Homo-oligomer: A and B are copies of this chain.
Amino acid sequence: MTINRGIGGIAGQIAAELRHAVRTGRLTPGTRLPATRDLAADLRVSRGVVVEAYEQLVAEGFLVSRVGSGTHVAPAAAPRAEPPPGDREHAPYYGHRPTSPDLGLFPRERWLAALRHVLATAPGDALDYGDPGGVPELREELAGYLSRVRAADVRPDHVVVTGGVAQGLSLVLRVLAEPGRLRLAVEDPGSDRQLPLLRRAGADPVPVPVDEEGLDVAALAASRADAVLVTPAHQFPTGVVLSPARRAALMAWARDGDRIVLEDDYDAEFRFDREPVGCLQGLAPDRVVLSGSVSKSLAPGLRLGWVVAPARLAAAVRRARGELDLGSPVIEQYALAHFLRTGGYDKHLRRMRREYRVRRDALVEALARDLPEVRVRGIEAGLHVYLELPEGWDAERLVAAARELGLVAAPVSRTRGAGGPPAVVAGFARLPARRAAETVRGLNVLMSGHFRK
């Protein structure tokens, strides 16, 4: 045993050495330890230090001590099984989705300035346990922002701050699914990635087809679902914007059957060619739950979003949040409130919209020129395009080729496996405009040969 007099408490070091010896099996259960006097002499430390170390390990349960029989390694103190070599988990990478923003454009300086402002001005109590529904300042700013930009019909007490759209859905579904399970219609094609979350939250997903106008509301009515999850501003993955007729039919379906529409206001910030359509929630605030986040507008890693729900449901969601994790971290909530209040958020969005529009145009042009067989859809909004491939093309191969060239893509699978041509989604947010042409030419080359008609 080696003692380093420079570092920390000597008793603590002796305890740590002995603990390690017990754990690794070097000291086996029942082994008698040297008398404190002897060990102290060996180590040239005072006896009190050894007594302290032994007492520590007795208190922890590694050693037992009985009057008149000395100190022994405890019977239950079995060595731990060392993990087999190579047992360390492989760390997968969770990012680089076709819908992810360009994180190189995250406004680091301005976000830091917002954090600095918060830490310089927030009272101490602001760092205490807070309202599980979110800090009041942020709920107020979000209510104003969503009313102004998304034509939502919202008061601050209808807003619950969440850790993103995923958590918002989890919470709302858990509340709606009490006490049984919820029959939840989902778009087909849709976000397969969400299905495990929906099921865990108590929902049984029922796929309903999406066509050129968006969700097929007649099929929805036939599905006997209690609620539906939709992406009306820019359907994932097809990019279709829900048509006015379908919006009306969807609202009628909800009202007539006292049903709930879960509106994922995914990609609504990025409508390029005209004003974005207002959210469904603004039409029927008593029937629609609106979810959104800053994952596309700022960064997914912030895990910051919101739910807007009718008052009673909002109160239940907030209670559920209080009984799950006591709410979101507060400093970044205050920072986002500050960013919204001072116009930094709007300014950042305007800048991003301009930049992404240029990137979208470059990709769409290059596709039209160099991959004319591919039908490009859903370009009005969002950070990805939907590519319908000719029959016989291999979507998986196109995805691999695209990723190799720096274009993040993912294959589209129909939930029900119903027909339709093979398709992929491709995200243009991370593809600089100047690289679009060479990327698509590269795709053309890689996709030539027998994978192509």
Contact = CB atoms under 8 A, between A and B. Distances in A.
B277 A56 contact: yes
B155 A301 contact: no
A40 interface: no
Contacts of A311: 83, 87
A77 interface: yes
Interface string A257-291: 00000000000000000110110101111100000
Nearest to A163: B325
A166 B112 contact: no
B151 A19 contact: yes
Contact of A60 (B163, B252, B278): B278
A393 interface: no
A218 interface: no
A111 interface: yes
Contact of A153 (B23, B274, B282): B23
Given A77-B283, A331-B302, A59 B95 contact: no
B100 A324 contact: no
Nearest to A256: B76
Contact of A301 (B111, B126, B275): B126
A255 interface: yes
A305 to B, nearest CB: 9
Given A83-B155, A124-B104, A166 B326 contact: yes
B325 A76 contact: no
Contact of A112 (B119, B274, B302): B119
Nearest to A304: B329
Contact of A278 (B56, B153, B251, B331): B56
Given A12-B275, A76-B252, A88 B167 contact: no
A196 interface: yes
A369 to B, nearest CB: 30
Nearest to A194: B323
Interface in A185-214: 196-197, 200
Interface stretch (A127-135, A357-365, A395-403, A410-418): A127-135
A285 B61 CA distance: 13
A94 B56 contact: no
Contacts of A344: none
A71 to B, nearest CB: 12
Interface string A104-121: 101010011001100110
Interface string A221-264: 00000000000000000000100100110011001000000000
B129 A59 contact: no
Interface in A63-96: 64, 74, 76-77, 80-81, 83, 87-89, 91-96
A7 to B, nearest CB: 11
Residue from A60, A102, A104, A247 having most chain B Cβ neighbours under 10 A: A60
Contact of A80 (B124, B153, B326): B153
A157 B83 CA distance: 11
A395 B378 CA distance: 65
B248 A95 contact: no
A58 interface: yes
Contacts of A315: 89
B115 A127 contact: no
A332 interface: yes
Contacts of A62: 283
Contact of A103 (B87, B125, B166, B285): B125
A164 interface: yes
Interface in A302-360: 302-304, 311, 315, 320, 323-332
A152 to B, nearest CB: 11
A170 interface: yes
Given A95-B125, A132-B94, A324-B197, A277 B80 contact: no
16 contacts: A60-B283, A74-B248, A83-B155, A91-B131, A111-B119, A112-B116, A112-B119, A127-B302, A128-B300, A197-B324, A200-B320, A301-B331, A303-B328, A328-B329, A329-B332, A332-B332
The 5 closest A-B pairs by CB, nearest first: A95-B128, A167-B325, A103-B124, A301-B330, A127-B299
